[in-house]
């Protein structure tokens, strides 16, 4: 019987192998850009023609190649980046398989020009279908230029498989952005058919993000930075208001390599959960650095998916870091409303935190919690603004009550903020008279002032803040109710005269389901048949006599939320209660009440926004005010 096994000729074997590495022009873009980065370039140009089908060229000013290396680099498994198998596990450079150039050479026509740094003369090599066509010395700039022409000219089946120019171009731009984002210290340009699409100057990560994703992010991103023994994370997340209905502005890099991780994406979405509408996506550009020994980057041929040693730890870490950044940073639209864009560009406005403050924020409980294994997910509730009183200046008590104020404090009712108070009217006139009493004398004593029965103005060391009383109280209640669910139930205030509630059948069914949660949250409610319920008690901070209104309002709010948001039922209930029981705009507050709101707000885990994502306060800095006044 005749032998039938043949060894495949090299060029065919290479074409097959190339299929894994080079699937479309964008794959070559990625490989060539990464090589240029690895070569230590500080300026990299990407030139595209016909969406890369005709030409993908990368020109860098990196270290270049010797004549021998220029020839060698197209051989399979030719790499300067791995010497031993151990290198595989500690590799920090971008490419590491020594396959990219061989693959590119197998499926296109390549022209390489390279000159070693410090060398007099360069090398020119032309390759066609893996075969060297020409090699000679040449004059060329220091660094390397690789041009890949006519991709898949020799594999028509693959060439036909390419998508429209628009689609291929989008892939190219995606790859370009991913590399450019990871190396803001390198200058990148992208030219398509003689049109320059990107010119990215060297700069900071923030500048790079804005240059790539748009000026509108200026002043709307906050920095994330956490350092632990196990890993570091740094980067930026968009403020909640910048969340978009479409994806595209989300980037994860592990050891500076772009990766896709639905799992870590989820961690971030979770950190934003109560701040942005469902189905919307916040910007994030996050870099995670950890010992390469803890990641396996080889699980996917295009290396965009990786495996972590300890996925849960990564999840908790990323989530905490983002939550922490959101809580730590002043997520308030400082002077963002209708101001001259010139002012918004000012550092003081666009960079909410000073380096000093940033350094401080790194030094937080998150760090400490990470040194205790698996504690990543707990942020000490009171930690992030533990020193919030510093906002108010020197150590002494931040409020000086005037004598008249003590009169208000005598009234025990003042302690609770109730929405449905029937005594609002009578009391508010009294309060405002008292308020007028101190207004002219105590402005400089840091006593909060109510503005239009809607906002609380409070002087702080660096200027003043304006608190939205409703949003702030909603946040306070929301966290109180959350704690109730997780830790200790809200005390119930038993009614002297239990009330009967007659509900529509659908509402009755809804309430039936919620009864166990309602009990934890302080309601004492019992079904009485026929869609009726007896209300025996309500949360202690709801004024008695309002049981019915309280539950009806709650139902209304709950239905509103079920309609708007896809949240777990309990979360919906808590939000509904917080919304429903919060102080509304239009209620006048005593100084004591305002001070309580301020105190409690800043004791919250996330004081910056209401559960629905509204700002709870806006800060006005003296420096910015001075600029506004010119
Ligand atoms: P890998 O990057 O995995 O080593 P490649 O096929 O991408 O494999 O590149 C092979 C080798 O060619 C690299 O290891 C490097 O030594 C050299 N090389 C490729 N591109 C460049 C470049 N732009 N500048 C300098 N050297 C390069
Ligand atoms: Mg490479």
Distance 19 CA to ligand 1 centre (A): 19
Residues in the chain with pLDDT values less than 50: 94-95, 332-387, 394-444
pLDDT tens profile 504-524: 878 888 888 888 888 888 888
57 lines ligand 1 (CB under 6 A): no
| pLDDT of 153 | 92
| Strand 284-290, strand 250-254: pairing | parallel
Q: Measure the CA–CA gap between 591 and 405, rounded to whole angstroms.
A: 7
Smallest Cα–Cα separation from 33: which of 63, 52, 58?
A: 58
Q: What are phi and psi of 219, to 5 degrees?
A: 70, 5
In which order are the strands placed within the sheet that holds 122-128?
131-138, 122-128, 109-115, 143-149, 55-60, 43-49, 187-192, 195-200
Distance (Å, rounded) from C-alpha 47 to C-alpha 57?
A: 5
- Domain assignment present for 120: yes
Query: Domain end: 200, 226, 254, which one?
Result: 200
> How far apart are alpha carbons 157 and 521 in whole angstroms?
65
Domain at 91, CATH number: 3.30.565.10
Q: Which two tokens stand for residue 478?
A: 């929301």
Q: 80 C-alpha vs ligand 1 centroid, how far in Å?
A: 7
Q: Is 513 exposed, middle or buried (0-12, 13-18, 19+ CB in 10 A)?
A: exposed
Any domain includes 441: no
36 lines ligand 1 (CB under 6 A): yes
**pLDDT per residue over 77-97, tens digit each?**
777 776 666 665 555 554 456
209: in domain: yes
| Contact predicate 522/577, CB 8 Å | no
Q: How many domains does the chain have?
A: 3
Structural domain of 317: 205-328
Sheet with 524-527, edge to edge strand ranges: 492-502, 532-539, 524-527
* Cα of 26 vs its chain's centroid, Å: 27
Same domain, 123 and 194: yes
Where among 170, 200, 230 does a domain terminate?
A: 200
Do 283 and 170 share a structural domain?
A: no
Say yes or no: 180 and 142 in one domain.
yes
Establish if 450 belongs to a structural domain. no
Residue 17 tokens read as 């192998």
CA distance 220 to 351: 9
How far is it, in rounded angstroms, from Cα 495 to Cα 14?
82
Look up residue 338 and give its DSSP letter. Answer: S
**Same domain, yes or no: 156 and 43:** yes
Read out DSSP for 154-204? T-HHHHHH---HHHHHHHHHHHHHHHHHH-TTSEEEEEETTEEEEEE-S--
Cα separation, 90 vs 364, in Å, equals: 30
Residue of 101, 143, 183 to mutate, ligand 1, most atoms within 8 A of C-beta: 101
Cα–Cα distance, 28 to 429 (Å, whole number): 74
C-alpha 493/C-alpha 524 separation (Å) is 9
Please tell me the distance between residue 207's alpha carbon and the centre of ligand 2 in angstroms.
27
**How far is the C-alpha of 622 from the C-alpha of 17, rounded, in Å?**
63
User: For residue 487, is it within any domain?
Assistant: yes
Same domain, 253 and 152: no
Q: Is the CB of 14 under 6 A from ligand 1?
A: no
The answer to whether residue 373 sits within a structural domain is no
Q: Is residue 48 domain-shared with residue 193, that is, in the same domain?
A: yes
Q: Which of 205, 226, 211, 355 is CA-nearest to residue 285?
A: 205
If we measure between CA atoms, which residue out of 465, 424, 402 comes closest to residue 618?
465
Q: What pLDDT digit, counting tens, does each position of 413-459 carry?
A: 333 333 333 222 332 333 333 333 333 333 445 789 999 999 999 99
Domain annotation covers residue 354? no
Task: Name residues whose C-beta falls within 8 Å of residue 111's C-beta, 6 or more positions apart in sequence.
Answer: 124, 125, 126, 127, 145, 146, 147, 149
Q: Catalogue the E-assigned strands of 211-294.
A: 221-227, 231-238, 250-254, 257-259, 284-290
Q: For ligand 1, say whether the CB of 79 is within 6 Å of any of its atoms.
A: yes
Question: In this structure, are 74 and 114 located in the same domain?
Answer: yes
Same-domain check for residues 177 and 69: yes
Q: Are residues 215 and 82 in the same domain?
A: no
Phi/psi of residue 69, nearest 5 degrees: -65, -35
Residue 45: DSSP 8-state: E
Of ligand 1's listed atoms, the one at least distance from the Cα of 101 is 6
pLDDT at 449: 93
Quote the pLDDT of residue 373.
29
Q: What pLDDT is recorded for position 341?
A: 38
| Rg, Å, the chain Cα set | 31
Q: Is 189 found in the same domain as 82?
A: yes
Residue 113 Cα to ligand 1 middle (Å): 13
Residues 6+ apart with CB under 8 A from 402: 437, 438, 441, 442, 445, 447, 591
540 inside domain: yes
Q: Are residues 192 and 306 in the same domain?
A: no
Q: State the distance from the centre of ligand 1 to the C-alpha of 288, rounded, in angstroms.
A: 25
**Ligand 1 in reach of 71 Cβ (< 6 A):** no
Distance 378 CA to ligand 1 centre (A): 44
CA atoms within 13 A on the CB side of 38: 19
Q: Whose CA is nearest to atom 16 of ligand 1?
A: 80
- With H, G, I as helix, E, B as strand and everything else as coil, classify residue 557: helix
Helix or strand holding residue 71 (H, E): helix 67-72
Query: Domain check: are 93 and 222 in the same one?
Result: no
pLDDT at residue number 88: 55
- We report the CATH number of the domain holding residue 541 as 3.30.1370.100
Q: Does the CB atom of residue 65 touch ligand 1 within 6 A?
A: yes
Q: Quote the CA–CA distance of 618 and 569 in Å, as a whole number.
A: 31
C-alpha span between 233 and 218 (Å, rounded): 21
Pocket test residue of 79, 99, 107, 122 for ligand 1, highest count of atoms within 8 A of CB:
79
Q: State in Å: Cα 172 to ligand 2 middle.
A: 17
Global pTM reads: 0.57
Pair 284, 323: CB distance under 8 Å: no
Last residue of a domain, one of 328, 349, 382: 328
Contact criterion met (CB below 8 Å) for 26 and 52: yes
Determine the residue of 73, 92, 110, 130 to mutate for testing ligand 1's pocket, defined as the one with the most ligand atoms within 8 A of the Cβ atom: 73
């Amino acid at each position: 019987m005749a032998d039938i096994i043949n060894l495949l000729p090299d060029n065919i074997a290479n074409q097959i192998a190339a299929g894994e590495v080079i699937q479309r022009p964008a794959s070559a873009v990625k490989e060539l850009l990464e090589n240029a980065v690895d070569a230590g370039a500080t300026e990299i140009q990407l030139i595209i023609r016909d969406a890369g089908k005709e030409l993908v060229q990368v020109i860098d000013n990196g270290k270049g190649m010797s004549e021998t290396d220029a020839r060698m680099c197209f051989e399979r498994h030719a790499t300067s980046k791995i010497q031993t198998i151990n290198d595989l596990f500690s590799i920090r450079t971008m490419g590491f398989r020594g396959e990219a150039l061989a693959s590119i050479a197998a499926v296109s026509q390549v022209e390489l020009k390279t000159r070693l740094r410090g060398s007099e003369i360069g090398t020119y090599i032309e390759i066609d279908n893996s075969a060297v066509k020409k090699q000679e010395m040449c004059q060329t700039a220091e660094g390397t230029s690789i041009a890949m022409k006519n991709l898949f000219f020799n594999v028509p089946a693959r060439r036909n498989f390419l998508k429209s120019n628009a689609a291929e171009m989008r892939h190219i731009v995606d790859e370009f952005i991913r590399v450019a984002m990871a190396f803001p210290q390198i200058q990148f340009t992208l030219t398509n058919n003689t049109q320059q699409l990107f010119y990215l100057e060297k700069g900071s990560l923030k500048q790079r993000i804005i240059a790539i994703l748009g000026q509108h992010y200026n002043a709307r991103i906050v920095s994330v930075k956490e350092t632990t023994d196990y890993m570091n994370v740094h980067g930026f997340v968009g403020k909640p208001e910048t969340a978009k209905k479409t994806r595209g502005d989300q980037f994860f890099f592990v050891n500076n390599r772009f990766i896709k991780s639905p799992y870590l994406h989820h961690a971030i979405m979770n950190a934003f959960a109560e701040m942005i509408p469902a189905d919307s996506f916040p910007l994030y550009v996050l870099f995670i650095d950890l010992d390469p020994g803890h990641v396996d980057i080889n699980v996917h041929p295009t290396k965009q998916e990786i495996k972590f040693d300890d996925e849960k730890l990564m999840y908790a870490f990323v989530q905490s870091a983002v939550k922490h950044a959101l809580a730590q940073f002043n997520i308030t639209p400082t002077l963002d409303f209708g101001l001259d864009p010139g002012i918004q560009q000012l550092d003081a406005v666009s960079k909410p935190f000073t380096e000093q403050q940033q350094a401080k924020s790194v030094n937080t409980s998150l760090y400490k919690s990470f040194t205790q294994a698996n504690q990543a997910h707990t942020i000490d509730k009171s930690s992030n603004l533990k020193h919030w009183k510093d906002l108010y200046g020197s150590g002494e008590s931040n409020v000086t009550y005037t004598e008249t104020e003590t009169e208000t404090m005598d009234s025990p009712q003042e302690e609770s903020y109730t929405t449905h108070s029937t005594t609002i009217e009578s009391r508010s006139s009294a309060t405002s008279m008292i308020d007028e009493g101190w207004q002219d004398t105590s402005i400089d004593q840091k006593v909060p002032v109510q503005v239009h029965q809607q906002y609380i103005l409070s002087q702080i060391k660096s200027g003043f803040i304006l608190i939205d009383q409703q949003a702030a109280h909603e946040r306070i209640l929301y966290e109180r109710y959350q704690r109730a669910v997780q830790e200790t139930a809200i005390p119930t205030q038993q009614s002297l005269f239990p009330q009967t509630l007659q509900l529509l059948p659908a509402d009755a069914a809804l309430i039936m389901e919620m009864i166990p949660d309602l009990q934890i949250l302080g309601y004492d409610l019992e079904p009485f048949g026929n869609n009726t319920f007896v209300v025996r008690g309500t949360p202690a901070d709801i004024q008695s006599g309002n049981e019915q209104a309280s539950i009806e309002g709650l139902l209304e709010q709950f239905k509103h939320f079920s309609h708007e948001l896809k949240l777990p039922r309990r979360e919906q209930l808590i939000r509904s209660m917080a919304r429903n029981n919060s102080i509304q705009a239009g209620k006048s507050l005593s100084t004591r009440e305002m001070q309580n709101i301020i105190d409690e707000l800043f004791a919250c885990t996330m004081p910056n926004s209401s559960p629905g994502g509204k700002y709870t306060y806006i800060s006005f800095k003296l420096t910015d005010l001075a600029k506004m006044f010119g």
